[in-house]
Structure 1
Amino acid sequence: MQRRTFLAAAAAAVIAAGAGAMPGRAEDPETLKVALLPDENASTIIQNAQPLKDYLEQALGRDVELIVTTDYSSMIEAMRFNRIDVAYFGPLSYVLAKSKAAAIEPFAVGVKGGSPTYQSVVIANPAGPVKAIADIRGQTFGFGDPASTSSHLIPRALLAGKGLTAGTDYAFAHLGTHDAVARAVQAGQVQAGGMSEEIYKKLVERGTIDPAKVVVLEESKPIPNYPIVMQGELSPELKAQIRAAFLEMKDPAILKSFRAEGFAATDDQAYDVLRETAQILNLDLAKMN
């Protein structure tokens, strides 16, 4: 009887999970799980973020586990099902996560040059057929992850503003990360692509891409920067500690992981521009991951 009762309870739990129930984590977890956006190679991200791990462990008085998911969609799902506590999202991936997990809270945004914004760029190989935006017509364009702001949504909107519709006026491929887009353009695998301007500059600085083989054709308008987001179910005391740890972060070695000079407070309304852009492009956010 006890075994049948246990199996029935287990089956009920599986059914509940399939119906959308969200398994929760403790309000005050002993180990804080912090996810970083998988916009570059995962091992590079983790290695560069070790100063962040050390800082947060000291500031919060608990263990911190850094996580880089396989792609944007798996990070959104991890946040949705409470498998991570704090996350560094791209603007669009945050909007997608918020649409699935209303309780999550953006609380800090990266600031550089005094501004909480960044830009997307359209790049091309100067040896190829694309010398200007108009030349993208009839070619193949490289986007990053479908849930990426600066490597999908914004360059797609920029091209649309120039009269170029994805799938009609040009073919496209989703290549995953920003650095994958840059390498594909450099190798001539795609004739042009979209990516974060900051990541482009960093790849040039590292020597990952050759600026003689990958050039910027156009920059986007400013985009609200990447938000730091936490689970709304965390205890008020822990949330206050996490918020303070980021807003008071000053060490350049730590901030380097976020391509920022510091953090400012933010909220959900700051990202309405992404929702409006998706609507203009007739993109259904619910189907984008």
Structure 2
Amino acid sequence: MKKIASIVLLLMAAVSILSACGSSQSGGTMKKFVIAYLPGEANDESAKLNKDFEDKLSAAIGLPVESYKATSYNAAIEAMKNGKADMATFGPFSYIVAVDRAKVEPIVGISMPSLANSPASVIIVPKDSDIKTVADLKGKTMGFVDPVSTTGHLFPKSLIVDELGIDPEELESGFFKSIQFAGKHDTAVLGVVKGQYDAAGVSGMYPEMLVQKGLIPKDSYRVIAQSGPLNATPVGIRSTVPDEVKQKVKAFLLGYNNPEYFQNLFGMADAKFVEVKDSDFDNIRDVAKQLKLSSEDLLK
């Protein structure tokens, strides 16, 4: 927890990746701009808000805007690498992988002021579990979200390494009974509540979000460990997107103000797009180094 508590960047691990399928550029001229979302909670309201966002972006950049749901962080990064994706909202860890693997660069970040003092990641257990501490996780079934999820894998894993003072490789070779990846933060939370996992590492905002939506009872889980907060999560764009388009996209995002959109998609009405630079995520690279993980390891 010592290292994680000092990290200042956002989560959201969750929660959505903007990328694409189907080439959007041909011969140096963009034909369309594609946004794809990672698997998450889908509902009519979010679909409506996404469509409104895409229509307004289209008008601002003078290109058709399309959307596609990626199946994983890896799939989204590969789509960016292959020129089939134009923009993605990444968790910090998946962002640094995308920079290495797909030559992605930051266009803006997403900041959530109301989460400035809240944990980015938590490790939760069922309310009646005999697991009281991180040490009690030994020999248990552990649920994570995705191998390159910041708040749903790397931060919780770093919490355990820091608190127990063990080698990261020990977590992969016998510490847990088994490790399972749920694919989504809400699925991981539900997996704990329903007894599929003994514990799970998820974004700090998700358990309470599911309580507020009536998907789980308020007292159905306990938090046994938590990380420090994050400031912003990066939105990446393909470096080969024409500069004129990049500038139009950036201007649109920085000027976008729709509390309903941010509330529905990110759980916080005060969320907003902000300026970021690649060096803002160097401390995330330090955590990956602490866990002895390269870009190739993160994508396995």
- Read off the aligned partner of 1:287 and give its amino acid letter: D
User: Which whole-Å CA distance do the structure 2 matches of 1:57 and 1:131 have between them?
Assistant: 50
Match of 1:170 among 176, 182, 190: 176
- Read off the aligned partner of 2:239 and give its amino acid letter: G
* Structure 1 residue ranges without an equivalent (≥5): 1-22
User: Which whole-Å CA distance do the structure 1 matches of 2:55 and 2:222 have between them?
Assistant: 37
Q: Is the contact made by 1:116 and 1:225 (CA closer than 8 Å) also made in structure 2?
A: no
What's the TM-score once normalised by structure 1's chain length?
0.83
Match of 2:283 among 259, 273, 277: 273
User: Which whole-Å CA distance do the structure 1 matches of 2:49 and 2:206 have between them?
Assistant: 14
Q: Which runs of 4+ in 1 moved over 6 A?
A: 114-118
User: Which whole-Å CA distance do the structure 2 matches of 1:61 and 1:130 have between them?
Assistant: 55
1:250 matched to which residue of 2?
257
Could you list the per-position Cα deviations for residues 70-89 of structure 1 after superposition, in whole angstroms to 9, with x for gaps in the alignment? 11110010011110111111
Q: Is the contact made by 1:24 and 1:81 (CA closer than 8 Å) also made in structure 2?
A: no
Closer, same or farther: CA 226–47 of 1 in aligned 2, 3 Å? farther
2:110 matched to which residue of 1?
110
Q: How many percent identity over aligned positions? A: 28
Offset of 1:35 from its aligned partner?
2.2
User: Which whole-Å CA distance do the structure 2 matches of 1:227 and 1:195 have between them?
Assistant: 18
* Structure 2 residue ranges without an equivalent (≥5): 1-22
User: Which whole-Å CA distance do the structure 2 matches of 1:43 and 1:75 have between them?
Assistant: 21
User: Which whole-Å CA distance do the structure 2 matches of 1:236 and 1:269 have between them?
Assistant: 20
- Read off the aligned partner of 1:237 and give its amino acid letter: E
2:247 matched to which residue of 1?
240
Which moved further from structure 2: 26-35 or 191-200?
Answer: 26-35
User: Which whole-Å CA distance do the structure 1 matches of 2:85 and 2:235 have between them?
Assistant: 12
The aligned length equals 265
Q: Is the contact made by 1:91 and 1:224 (CA closer than 8 Å) also made in structure 2?
A: no
What's the TM-score once normalised by structure 2's chain length?
0.80
Offset of 1:41 from its aligned partner?
3.9
Offset of 1:114 from its aligned partner?
6.8
User: Which whole-Å CA distance do the structure 2 matches of 1:47 and 1:152 have between them?
Assistant: 30
Which moved further from structure 2: 216-225 or 156-165?
Answer: 216-225
User: Which whole-Å CA distance do the structure 1 matches of 2:34 and 2:213 have between them?
Assistant: 29
Offset of 1:259 from its aligned partner?
4.4
Which moved further from structure 2: 259-268 or 237-246?
Answer: 259-268
Q: How does 1:103-252 map to 2 (within 5 A)?
A: 104-113=104-113, 119-163=120-164, 165-167=170-172, 168-171=174-177, 172-252=179-259
Offset of 1:226 from its aligned partner?
2.2
- Read off the aligned partner of 2:38 and give its amino acid letter: L
Higher relative contact order, chain-length normalized (CA < 8 Å, sep 6+): 2
User: Which whole-Å CA distance do the structure 2 matches of 1:284 and 1:273 have between them?
Assistant: 14
SS of corresponding position for 1:229 = strand
Offset of 1:288 from its aligned partner?
2.0
User: Which whole-Å CA distance do the structure 2 matches of 1:156 and 1:224 have between them?
Assistant: 20
